[in-house]
């Protein structure tokens, strides 16, 4: 949006999320990136190699502070993240882009995206003194990013306000065709966004109702992220309740979309939000780094960029843009609610009287299914990925202490040994991995957290010996069949002994030896197929009826060279 609209005769203000500029040591609980990743089941995606490689996330705000880049580097170093790749655009020029409003907001947004999506490219869209809503418009008009996130809100009120807001919404609608994902905070003003916590400019938006409209969270083309609070003294790890300040309620402008249905969703004729929720409470804030030191940060302004980072990982797994999320999110609320952590307790507050009354009471409350406090609830990222990226998957292989004969049951996202075994390297619970191909052995050895040796790549269709110092699981991420233009995999085998891995097919998880090796009929010795039972360390001569399991490997004696076609 350009000056033709922002110059209209309406009042506007920037809403400001709750911000806690305290140093880490003064908080009794701070949610570190590792805690957030565990709470929302992000770790299996990262361990499988889905780290948002090739995905650009736009972060919209007014400006960045002078310490922004050094703070980002310090945060990355503190939490074991790679150095972020950052670029900046100033759609309306440099005026007002040299400071963050509110303090630390842009830094926090960038850090939270980076914590969940360590390999994503970060595009800082800085609008300066212009309307924050112009940031989404810039991304859509210029096809500038795959995902865009905006934390603060903006409102227009007075004569012509509804037309301006509708024009912005029409611009956001173009994101659907471009498959750009738009994500925003639901805000921290409780039920119907009526409680003026935090700071704001130009008066509070509810004082000007009914001709006052809050954006972008009410746009049906934007996924609105509400707030939860971790219950840190619960016997159930990572349990959550609805946050008292989570913004939610029906729109006073946009009608209810056809897709906004499901258990608990009110059929009231209006666009309802939030859509989902993540931690936002100031009692369970996020760890971040700003102005040269560690601190904590809270509000739905933390949940929105965190969700954007998670969706960037899933986008890499999907092999392309996810686009407009809301229709799928609501469909899953009915078809597979297990992708959500259903939050059934906790209420948001509502202002009684004018915005200056200072009197609040219980407003909306969380309930089974969808609600105005948490939407569908918080997410299980790995389960969500299986719906948004069905051709990508993760499979865990159980490993026993001692020697294990394994294979990669998927076409790996990355064939680098360091990436395939990243979870085991971090756990430091294996010593060596060996491969046998073309009559030659090759190995990689782990020492002091680093691999050495000539086995620098690992691939599907090949068997591997790995020596474990303790029981663990290897999570493999990749494709049953790689996306186009790649072809289904085949494997060349040499005459003599070969160490072969079982690679399941799209609709078949288990397969008999005879079926799997049918393309080799007459070219291998059916009496010389051997499998090692990792659980008890014994050998099994596998006949044609033996049922192969994902992650299993076998020795095969070939009477001539041939190609295995699974």
State the DSSP string of 410-441: SEES--BHHHHTHHHHHHT-EEEEEEEETTEE
How many separate domains does the chain show? 2
Residue appearing with tokens 């009197």 = 359
Residue range 322-341: mean pLDDT, rounded: 96
Q: How far apart are CA 1 and CA 49, in angstroms?
A: 37
Whether residue 467 sits in one domain with residue 377? no
pLDDT for residue 24: 35
pLDDT for residue 20: 36
Whether residue 266 sits in one domain with residue 401? no
Could you report how far apart the first and last alpha carbons of the chain are, in Å? 54
Is pLDDT at 118 greater than 60 in this prediction?
Answer: yes
Residue range 318-325: mean pLDDT, rounded: 92
pLDDT for residue 487: 58
Whether residue 404 sits in one domain with residue 546? yes
Whether residue 113 sits in one domain with residue 153? yes
DSSP string, 72-119: HHHHHHHTTPPPPEEEEE-TT-STT-SS-SSTTHHHHHHHHHHHH-TT
Q: Which domain holds residue 416?
A: 392-564
Q: Residue 125 is part of a domain; what is its CATH number?
A: 3.40.50.200
439-448 per-position pLDDT tens digit: 899 999 999 9
430-489 per-position pLDDT tens digit: 999 999 988 899 999 999 999 999 999 999 999 999 999 999 999 988 877 665 445 567
pLDDT for residue 8: 32
Residue range 381-390: mean pLDDT, rounded: 86
Whether residue 469 sits in one domain with residue 337? no
Confidence of residue 357 (pLDDT cuts 50, 70, 90): confident
Mean confidence (pLDDT) of the chain = 89
pLDDT for residue 565: 87
pLDDT for residue 200: 60
Is pLDDT at 355 greater than 80 in this prediction?
Answer: no
Whether residue 552 sits in one domain with residue 455? yes
Confidence of residue 243 (pLDDT cuts 50, 70, 90): very high
Whether residue 237 sits in one domain with residue 138? yes
Is pLDDT at 23 greater than 60 in this prediction?
Answer: no
DSSP string, 216-227: STTSTTSEEEEE
Residue range 391-401: mean pLDDT, rounded: 86
* Percent of the chain's residues with pLDDT above 70: 92
Q: How far apart are CA 187 and CA 301, in angstroms?
A: 7
* Pair of tokens at residue 287: 């760890």
Last residue of a domain, one of 338, 357, 388: 388
Whether residue 144 sits in one domain with residue 67? yes
Q: How far apart are CA 237 and CA 34, in angstroms?
A: 14
* Percent of the chain's residues with pLDDT above 90: 72
* Pair of tokens at residue 260: 């906004």
Residue range 267-274: mean pLDDT, rounded: 97
Is pLDDT at 179 greater than 50 in this prediction?
Answer: yes
Point out the least confidently predicted range of 12-26, 133-147, 530-544.
12-26
Whether residue 417 sits in one domain with residue 295? no
Point out the least confidently predicted range of 115-124, 243-252, 410-419, 449-458.
410-419
pLDDT for residue 425: 94
Whether residue 126 sits in one domain with residue 266? yes
Is pLDDT at 18 greater than 80 in this prediction?
Answer: no
């Amino acid at each position: 949006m350009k000056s033709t609209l922002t110059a209209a005769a309406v009042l506007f203000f920037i809403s400001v999320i709750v911000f806690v500029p305290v140093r880490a040591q003064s908080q009794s609980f701070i949610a570190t990136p590792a805690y957030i990743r565990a709470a929302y089941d992000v770790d299996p995606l990262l361990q499988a190699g889905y780290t948002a490689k090739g995905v650009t996330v736009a972060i919209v705000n007014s400006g960045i502070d002078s310490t922004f880049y050094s703070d980002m580097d310090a945060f990355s170093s503190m939490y074991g993240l790679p150095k972020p790749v950052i670029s900046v655009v100033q759609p309306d020029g440099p005026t007002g882009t040299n400071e963050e409003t509110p303090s630390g907001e842009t830094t926090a947004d960038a850090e939270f995206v980076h914590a969940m999506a360590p390999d994503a490219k970060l595009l800082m869209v800085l609008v300066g003194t212009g309307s924050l809503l112009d940031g989404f418009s810039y991304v859509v008009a210029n096809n500038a990013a795959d995902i865009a996130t905006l934390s603060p809100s903006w409102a227009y009120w007075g004569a012509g306000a509804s037309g301006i807001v509708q024009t912005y919404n029409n611009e956001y609608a173009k994101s659907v065709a471009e498959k750009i994902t738009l994500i925003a905070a639901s805000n921290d003003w409780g039920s119907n966004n009526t409680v003026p916590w935090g700071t704001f400019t130009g008066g509070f938006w509810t004082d000007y109702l009914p001709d006052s409209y809050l954006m972008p969270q009410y746009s049906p083309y934007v996924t609105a992220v509400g707030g939860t609070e971790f219950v840190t003294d619960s016997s159930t790890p990572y349990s959550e309740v609805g946050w008292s300040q989570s913004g939610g309620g029906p729109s006073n402008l946009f009608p209810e979309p056809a897709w906004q249905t499901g258990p608990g969703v009110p059929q009231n004729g209006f666009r309802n939000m939030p859509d989902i929720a993540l931690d936002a409470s100031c009692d369970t804030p996020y760890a971040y780094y700003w102005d040269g030191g560690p601190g904590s940060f809270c509000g739905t302004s933390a949940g929105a960029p965190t969700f954007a980072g998670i969706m960037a990982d899933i986008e890499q797994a999907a092999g392309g843009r996810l686009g407009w999320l809301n229709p799928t999110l609501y469909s899953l609320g009915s078809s597979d609610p297990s992708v959500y952590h259903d939050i059934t307790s906790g209420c948001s507050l509502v202002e009684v009287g004018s915005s200056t009354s200072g009197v609040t009471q219980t407003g909306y409350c969380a309930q089974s299914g969808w609600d105005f406090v948490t939407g569908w609830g918080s997410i299980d990222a790995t389960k969500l990925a299986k719906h948004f990226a069905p051709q990508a998957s993760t499979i865990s292989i159980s490993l026993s202490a001692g020697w294990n004969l394994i294979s990669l049951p998927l076409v790996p996202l990355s064939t680098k040994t360091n990436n395939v075994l990243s979870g085991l390297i971090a756990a430091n619970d294996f010593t060596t991995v060996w491969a046998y191909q073309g009559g030659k052995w090759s190995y990689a050895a782990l020492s002091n957290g680093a691999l050495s040796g000539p086995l620098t790549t690992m691939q599907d269709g090949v068997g591997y010996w790995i020596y474990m110092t303790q029981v663990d699981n290897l999570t493999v991420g990749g494709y049953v069949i790689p996306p186009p233009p790649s072809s289904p995999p085949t494997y060349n085998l040499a005459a003599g002994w070969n160490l072969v891995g079982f690679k399941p097919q799209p609709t078949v998880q288990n397969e008999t030896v005879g079926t799997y090796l049918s393309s080799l009929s007459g070219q291998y010795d059916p009496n010389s197929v051997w499998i090692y039972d990792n659980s008890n360390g014994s050998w099994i001569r596998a006949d044609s009826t033996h049922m192969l399991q994902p992650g299993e490997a076998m020795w095969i004696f070939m009477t001539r060279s041939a190609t295995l076609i699974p």
